[in-house]
């Protein structure tokens, strides 16, 4: 089943990145805070990541062609892997900017207006982040999830930066601005690692979730009352598309028409489980009484 295009959400991310870059740079020039400068640098990375996400989502939504008969869905994993790498890069840029300020602290200025501008930028990112993550989870789009989580790391960065500035204001310890920025950067590195790990697992044809597999087994169990048996259920997730393969063991007395009709019904029942997801189901019919029917358990025949 075809899934709706998700590109409009990436455009939303691009607009949010442009707005927050402008606001955070303004806050930096007002306050001279290295934390806010680092925050603005991460928003620049957000913009690059959103453009990459748009390119990859365009590729992922292309229909199958002669050279890619299973579609282009895995392009989404490249997007999330790049995004994870950019998150880590942004984190190290934050550390790079903060370390000199630990050695040579500098006073902060215009904290009131600077903080107000930074808070406005964070609220934009927070709202867009929640929209992207929710939409990505609903549509099994790792690209949108990655982009949303990237924006959420920006929100966490901003929160840490604002905390650092507040601590400087109340304690007078200028070093806290840089220390908090480094602490937030370390947390961001962990988020980037998780995104890259998930992308790698997707490229390695990881199974669909255990919950989804249980739903498939429940559908298959209904047909066991008709003396139908099943084995070699295999699944994999490729971007937004699920691939499901199962062997059907039917009575040897059935003719081709009977077997085909039931296989079609089973495939449709499985697809109905995932109405909002692109789903491809492959079935293979074998006679239940033939010992050779059990030879192809797994991807290779034994």
pLDDT at 268: 92
Report the distance separating Cα 243 and Cα 186, nearest Å: 37
Q: Are residues 172 and 255 in the same domain?
A: no
Which of 152, 185, 203 delimits the end of a domain?
Answer: 203
Of residues 80 and 148, which shows the higher confidence score?
148
The residue-averaged pLDDT of 91-100 equals 78
Of residues 107 and 137, which shows the higher confidence score?
137
Of residues 240 and 91, which shows the higher confidence score?
91
Q: Are residues 260 and 184 in the same domain?
A: no
CATH of the domain at 116: 1.20.1510.10
pLDDT at 152: 82
CATH of the domain at 220: 3.30.70.1350
On whether residue 301 sits in a domain, the answer given is no
127 band by pLDDT with thresholds 50, 70 and 90 = very high
Q: Are residues 97 and 196 in the same domain?
A: yes
- What's the domain count of the chain? 2
Q: Are residues 129 and 23 in the same domain?
A: yes
On whether residue 94 sits in a domain, the answer given is yes
Q: 211-220: which pairs have CB atoms within 8 A and are 24 or more residues apart?
A: 212/242, 212/273, 212/274, 215/273, 216/244, 216/246, 216/270, 216/273, 219/266, 219/269, 219/270, 219/273, 220/246, 220/266
Do residues 39 and 125 lie in contact, with contact meaning Cβ atoms separated by under 8 Å? no
Q: Are residues 73 and 139 in the same domain?
A: yes
Q: Are residues 195 and 240 in the same domain?
A: no
* CA geometry: angle 5, 246, 275, nearest 5 deg: 25
pLDDT tens column, 26-39: 877 877 776 667 66
273 pLDDT higher than 80: yes
Percent of the chain whose predicted confidence (pLDDT) is above 70 = 87
Provide CB contacts within 8 A for 21, sequence distance 6+.
Answer: 40, 43, 44, 47
3 pLDDT higher than 60: no
Q: Are residues 79 and 216 in the same domain?
A: no
Q: Are residues 133 and 243 in the same domain?
A: no
Q: Are residues 224 and 256 in the same domain?
A: yes
Q: Are residues 191 and 271 in the same domain?
A: no
Handedness of CA 287, 293, 298, 299 (dihedral sign): negative
pLDDT at 264: 92
On whether residue 299 sits in a domain, the answer given is no
**DSSP string across 3-44:** PPP-HHHHHHHHHHHHHHHHHHHHHHHHH--HHHHHHHHHHH
Which of 154, 181, 203 delimits the end of a domain?
Answer: 203
User: Is pTM beyond 0.85 here?
Assistant: no
Q: Indicate the DSSP class of residue 71.
A: -
Identify how many contiguous H helices and E strands the chain contains and give both numbers.
Answer: 8, 3
Report the distance separating Cα 94 and Cα 191, nearest Å: 15
pLDDT at 1: 42
On whether residue 2 sits in a domain, the answer given is no
Q: In what order do the strands lie in the sheet with 278-287?
A: 229-238, 241-250, 278-287
217 pLDDT higher than 80: yes
Range of the domain at 92: 7-203
On whether residue 143 sits in a domain, the answer given is yes
294 band by pLDDT with thresholds 50, 70 and 90 = low
Q: Are residues 230 and 87 in the same domain?
A: no
Q: Are residues 242 and 185 in the same domain?
A: no
287 exposure class (CB count in 10 Å sphere: 0-12, 13-18, 19+): middle
Residue carrying structure tokens 């930028």: 121
């Amino acid at each position: 089943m075809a899934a709706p295009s998700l590109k409009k959400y990436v455009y939303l991310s691009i607009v949010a990145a442009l707005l927050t870059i402008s606001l955070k740079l303004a806050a930096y020039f007002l306050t001279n805070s290295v934390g806010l400068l680092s925050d603005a640098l991460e928003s620049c990375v957000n913009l690059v990541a959103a453009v990459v996400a748009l390119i990859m989502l365009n590729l992922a939504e292309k229909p199958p062609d002669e050279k890619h008969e299973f579609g282009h869905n895995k392009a989404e994993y490249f997007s999330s892997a790049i995004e994870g790498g950019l998150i880590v890069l942004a984190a190290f840029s934050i550390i790079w900017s903060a370390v000199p300020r630990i050695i040579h602290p500098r006073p902060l200025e215009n904290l009131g207006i600077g903080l107000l501008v930074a808070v406005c930028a964070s609220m934009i990112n927070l709202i867009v982040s929640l929209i992207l993550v929710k939409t990505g989870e609903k549509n099994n789009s790792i690209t949108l999830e990655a982009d949303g989580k990237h924006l959420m790391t920006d929100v966490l960065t901003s929160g840490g930066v604002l905390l650092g500035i507040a601590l400087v204001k109340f304690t007078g310890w200028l070093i806290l601005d840089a220390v908090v920025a480094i602490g937030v950067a370390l947390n961001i590195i962990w988020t980037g690692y998780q995104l890259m790990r998930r992308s790698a697992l997707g490229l390695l044809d990881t199974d669909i979730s255990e919950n989804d597999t249980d739903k498939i087994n429940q559908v298959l169990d209904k047909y066991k009352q008709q003396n139908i048996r099943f084995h070699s259920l295999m699944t994999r997730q490729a971007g937004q598309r699920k691939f499901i393969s199962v062997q059907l063991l039917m009575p040897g007395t059935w003719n081709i028409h009977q077997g085909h009709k039931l296989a079609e019904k089973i495939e449709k029942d499985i697809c109905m489980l995932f109405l909002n997801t692109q789903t491809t189901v492959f079935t293979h019919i074998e006679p239940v009484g033939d010992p050779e029917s059990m030879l192809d358990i797994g991807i290779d025949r034994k």
